[in-house]
Structure 1
């Protein structure tokens, strides 16, 4: 089964090959025992988040954070022809095939099962065959040690380099993906999932309108959770602005809606909590107020300073958020 082309073996110390000595990613996507890989397109609705071709090895990260190699890349690692990897996919449901049985046994030892060997995704107008890292390692181990006369020395050498989490790390590093990035948004997404449709028709609520501020805080490095709930600050100041300026007479009466916090927040103990929502007619006025009064008028900076004083926010994070949201002022003439 050896490929007629020159065997591909990772050489970490050679600049022309993929280096394993680059900066190590400290946080990896979690690996849970007995996890089922279900890569059938149309069920997971996956896309490709990032991808790259590194020295002939096609790799990338799916939209759910799964690192993968393409079919040709996996074939090159294993030292076999591309068609052999394709055959593994086409025979994946036939457990009478010794090769499939062996690969699935290897996968099971690592605590995984798989409904299919690859994820088929149309990306950039072309069909991509994406093999999740766990599948890649199982196939690589098979060709390294369990394929009998068809064992490949390249597979053995590459397996020794890439076993465990090293293949995942390498793919993340080569495509420039930070798996910790998505986790920064988890707590905010939990709240969005509970409340994005809470306000009645014809009204908006401050929570859903705070996304720009929250996004910049997260990107600056803030831990958005139960201690940093900036929409509460925005809501309190906007409510005061609403009553002080009798905006009800202009836009109509505001109303209440049930706002819920996820179980990860201590505020959830008093769910649901009544919060104000405002007529959609006032949305433009709110957005002007948010930028001109809350953000640029100093209220946002005051909120951040208070969080820094309490130890809930690093000074550097506060400065980055202010820099991102508050436009620089032109010098006075």
Structure 2
């Protein structure tokens, strides 16, 4: 039986807390509205975020500000070439006095895990996150250990053109619900940054505006957002377009369809709506799909980016009417 859609009180709480988190992050980083909104929509969908950009634009700062604002148990992993999988998941230690093995959890056992510069570690170490990101658990020496709930990974990485990086495998990239690009700040925002960061660490001023119970409750509200059959068909049509476009060698997977819908529900909850609109799909199609698709050789040589290909497909796929997106919506 389907769950009832959220009440006005539920949606008001989500919108209020999201606004507090947004303001908290903005005290550290200004001018990042789209990146922050995409990240918050992903958090409400209990998805994982991949932040990719050149060094120094604030990827790690954004991840740390988000974690500090939410106020949950945070695990920080600095990925390096010599990092081992056990450094991420944990290790079993033999206790000679009791003749038993004791499991010592790694930093992945947290509500929010910051995986800093994830593509500087070897693919073997990167893959240590696969099970935890997909199934919310870790298996070490044949024993499965559940991770805390909710569980979110916020990873940062530099572009693969940078020295000392390894490209993330497609299976690893597909585990991330969205990829967010921070970008360079505008001149005005950069001046404001020089003022706020002058001689101080602004992250020390970030205070918690929510807790784990509130975050779990907000995620539950987002899951109950209504998506009309026309909205689901719109997502499928968009995915079909990525799979048949000659500019793409690899289109969106069924997991991408599921995660686009989940992220759209998170965005709808952020805006105080109990139903998904086509605008939610349009706004998140780039962050959800761009890191999953692979352009063809001809598209790459022609200078077409994944983002531009997705934008072109979104412009081509027919959008359902407002009446159809609200049809059969529960009272």
What's the TM-score, normalizing by structure 2?
0.22
Larger radius of gyration: 1
What's the TM-score, normalizing by structure 1?
0.22
